[in-house]
Structure 1
Amino acid sequence: MSAADAVFLTGATGFVGAAVARALIARGFAVRALARPGSPRDNIAGLALEPVTGDLEDPASLARGVAGCRYLFHVAADYRLWVPDPASMMRVNVEGTRALMRAAQQAGVERIVYCSSVAALGHTRDGSPADETTPVIEAEIIGPYKRSKYLAEQAVLAMVREEGLPAVIVNPSTPVGPRDIKPTPTGRMILDAAAGRMPGYLETGLNIVHVDDVAEGHLLALERGVIGERYILGGENMKLGDIFARAARLAGTRPPRFKLSEGMLWPVALACEGLARAFGIPPLVTREHLRMARTPMYFSSAKAIEGLGYRPRPAEAALADAIAWFRASGKLRPAKARRSA
């Protein structure tokens, strides 16, 4: 790849997108990045890229972004586990994705890497790691985010089959690491555990992957991925309690002590949802959270490892880098300062 290879990247101001932007720039790509009006640009400050103001609901900005670009990396998404208006999430994640793919086709983009999610994939009944072939039961998809990512992925796959869209799909699991600026829902849990603000938890399982490994997986998909194929970009399958315990140990704090049951949290979820609807405050827990926790979200990255040369690092490295960044950014105070407060 030469420095003349131009890339249009969506989501660069966010967590995964910022990691992809850095990986592209390090490889010598000329990056043009979509940024919403008024969106914080801390994650791309100082990077050698060209910002394009717009969003996924503005087709004219998408056409400007892809014009003259050889490649497209579509990483942007509305990632929230609770939304007051699910229709708005569908417009961004599904219709926005479809509009961007159309713009890329019209601009003659040579190759596309679409960042989907393991949220778009199926789960095994016994909790064993799922892969790209695990069937999805659409009626059992929980929540607007997972539904939107499933429908967006299906739209891309249909365009590959029917229109020759040159897209490779990657499905990150649960990225963790530096520059989780919002933070993401997972980042918020890790931050709370590291800060000692989480007395209890509901046991489930997640696949933890370093965000920089996810970014590297995107570039491997560009270079080696097969058009129309999906590749899980995951890391290590872990119980949630173990994730929190490692985060607390790395931060020098006490891990959560109480393992809670779904029954205990159901009235809490109802109360949180009521407050969220009344005051617009994102709920700490919802009924959808509880339903999702019933099945461990374990995944296998064997296809990406074999087909792309993907090599994820241990989950502990991702947690350590996340905590170091939270501390450096002022979101997490040093442990000694907290104990003496």
Structure 2
Amino acid sequence: MSDSRGLVLVTGVSGFVGSAVARALAAEGWQVRGLVRATSPRANLADFPGELVEGDARDAASMARALTGAGTLFHVAADYRLWAPDPEEIVRNNLNSTGTVMRAAQAAGVGRIVYTSSVATLKPSHDGPVDERHAAAPDEAVGAYKRSKVVAERLVERMVTEEGLPAVIVQPSTPIGPRDVKPTPTGRVIVEAANGKMPAFVDSGLNLVHVDDVAAGHLLALARGRIGERYILGGEDVMLGDMLAEIARQVGRKAPKVRLPRGPLYPLAWANEALCRLTGRSDPFLTLDSLRMSRYRMFFSSAKAEAELGYSARPWQGAIGDAIAWFRQAGMIR
């Protein structure tokens, strides 16, 4: 890259994907500045390869300060929760922060933006893998998180068309791997399964990709992506039962065999959410929206990114292995 020594701002660097993107950029010779909230966890920042600045992506003044001198922006930060006592808070957070960040980047004269969206903005199908042409409308998205990503992505697209925003959009599928500190919902499945706490499962599927391949895809989008275009950064389509069997194999446990019907699980999900509201917990393992989403196999095609960006992803079994190794080191897997 001819401008590899330029200053790049990355939001969300304390998180799973953001920390991977920041490290990938530093490895390519970029001068990295990471935006982090004062309340963000610091586990992924101990060896951060650059400068850290405190700020909030929803605050225009702190965004203006963070963007000072930066010619490139990766907006990776997002409110990634599949459940909240007030679901609309997730929508407000992701829409408002995306608008604030993009307007600040325009005002600062940033020359190139990579916006991290999600395959959550695509309509799932029962007929095989979905590609970028299957864009969802807000009322077609299942749950607040997916709806939040749809409205935020549409905002970025409008700003590209109407205001000349120099943004490329990437849509990661289901990243797994090291530094999943929260962990993400999928990371939590890996932890629970590795600890022998998932004896049964529903018939569903997902697209698994190593987080470092997603990060590499971000850099490819910066270098080769077309402004205003969307690129799925995925890996391999995997049935949930096969994923759990692979986790069991790698940790030396028996694979779960019991496949559960969804119907009886809805009252349990409702009760789980009600308990979280009552106790103030924010992380129910089983939610109504997750059950609704599980009706679809979340399978996706990265053919466009492969053809236009030169993107590729490693086998999903290795990504599972890297995730398990990191969770073990972090003390989450016994």
Structures share fold, TM-score greater than 0.5: yes
Q: Secondary structure at the match of 1:34?
A: strand
The AA in structure 2 aligned to 1:103 is A
Gaps in structure 1 of 5+ consecutive residues = 334-341
Amino acid at match of 1:86: P
In structure 2, the residue corresponding to 1:263 is in which secondary structure? Answer: coil
Q: Distance in 1 between matches of 2:132 and 2:40?
A: 33
Equivalence for 1:164: 164
State whether residues 17 and 76 of structure 2, in contact with CA within 8 Å, keep that contact through their aligned partners in structure 1: yes
SS of 1:17's equivalent in the other structure is helix
Structure 1 counterpart of 2:218: 218
CA distance in 2, matches of 1:187, 1:21: 20
Structure 2 CA distance, aligned partners of 1:4 and 1:138?
A: 39
Alignment match, 1:118: 119
Which residue identity is paired with 2:52?
P
Q: Is the 8 A contact 2:23 2:49 kept in 1?
A: no
1:244 aligned partner: 244
The 2-side partners of 1:148 and 1:235 are apart by: 24
Q: Is the 8 A contact 1:57 1:91 kept in 2?
A: no
- Residue 323 of structure 2: aligned partner: 322
State the Cα RMSD in Å. Answer: 1.1
Indicate conservation of the 8 Å contact 1:123/1:135, yes or no.
no
Following superposition, the deviation at residue 77 of structure 1 comes to 0.3
> Deviation digits for residues 89-118 of structure 1, max 9, x if unmatched?
223211110110000000000000000000
Letter in 2 for 1:310: Y
- Does residue 182 (structure 1) correspond to residue 169 (structure 2)? The answer is no
**Structure-1 residue corresponding to 2:257:** 257
Instruction: Evaluate the alpha carbon distance shift between residue 229 and residue 91 of structure 1 in structure 2; reply closer, same or farther with a 3 A threshold.
Output: same
For 2:83, the aligned partner's letter is: W
Counterpart of 1:253, as a letter, is R
**Distance in 2 between the 1:274 and 1:42 partners?**
30
Kindly state the Cα deviation for residue 137 of structure 1 after the two structures are TM-superposed: 4.5
CA offset digits 1:217-269 (Å, max 9, x no partner): 00000000000000000000011111111011111122223111111211111
Deviations for 1:295-332, whole angstroms, at most 9, x for unmatched residues?
Answer: 11100000000000001011001100000111112111
What is the 5 A alignment of 1:65-144?
Answer: 65-124=66-125, 126-144=126-144
Contact 1:209 1:318 in 2 (8 A): yes
- The question of whether the paired residues in 2 share the 8 Å contact of 1:11 and 1:75 is answered with yes
Aligned position for 1:64: 65
Q: Gaps spanning 5+ residues in structure 2: where?
A: none
Partner of 1:205: 205
Moved more, 174-183 or 195-204: 195-204
1:339 is matched with which residue? none
**Does residue 21 of structure 2 align to residue 42 of structure 1?**
no
Tell whether 2:290 aligns with 1:269. no
- Measured in 1, the distance between the counterparts of 2:69 and 2:135 equals 38
Percent identity of equivalent pairs: 57
